[in-house]
Amino acid sequence: MAGPGNKGILRGIGAALGELFHGGKLEPNQEVSVEVLFGLLGYLAGADSIVTSHEAEFANNLMEELDLPARGRDMAQNAFLAGRQRKIDIDMELKRYLAVFPAGSPEAGKLYDALVELAFADGRIRPNERIFLEKVTLGLGYNMAALKQRLGEI
């Protein structure tokens, strides 16, 4: 998943989400962003049942791109691991995120775009990744046409 060609994806996600973080101490809404983003990334990384060191490397590089402080990195690593181990509830995580960043907000759109971009990074969507994206699509208040459009199916 993460490899030399994914540096552009990392930069894109970092640029899209970077304004939520400024280094230093995390505010409560930033903590929600970190936990949900990295939890969902971890869940997505494990969606194909093949979890490689590349996914962990991807998460670490994204933490750097977002300029997370030490506490934020710890939160991100714990959330990523919990997601990979299926110890998170996707619906609850999305509700938590939407309580801070409502459906239709730029932040919700950036989270959604980051997940779709990561899933499609290798040029194809595997069946379990598709199921995950469909759940996230509905959970963030989008319809299936939005997902098809982002995947270039429309």
Structural domain boundaries, residue 35: 4-150
* pTM, 2 dp: 0.82
Tokens coding 6: 């994914």
How many angstroms separate the CA atoms of 80 and 85, rounded? 9
Q: Provide the CATH number for the domain around residue 90.
A: 1.10.3680
Specify the pLDDT at position 60. Answer: 78
* Mean pLDDT for the chain overall: 82
pLDDT mean over 15-37 = 74
pLDDT 10s digits, 53-98: 666 677 778 888 888 888 888 999 999 989 989 999 999 999 999 9
- Residue 102, pLDDT > 60, answer yes
**Could you give the number of structural domains in the chain?**
1
Count the helix, strand and coil residues of the chain and give each as a percent rounded to the nearest 5. Answer: 70, 0, 30
pLDDT class of 4 with cuts at 50, 70, 90 = very low
Specify the pLDDT at position 1. Answer: 39
Specify the pLDDT at position 54. Answer: 66
How many angstroms separate the CA atoms of 47 and 39, rounded? 12
What lies within 8 Å, CB to CB, of 51 at 6+ separation is 45, 84
80-104: string of b/e by CB count within 10 Å (b at 16+)?
A: bebbbeeebebeebbeebbebbeee
Specify the pLDDT at position 3. Answer: 42
Specify the pLDDT at position 65. Answer: 81
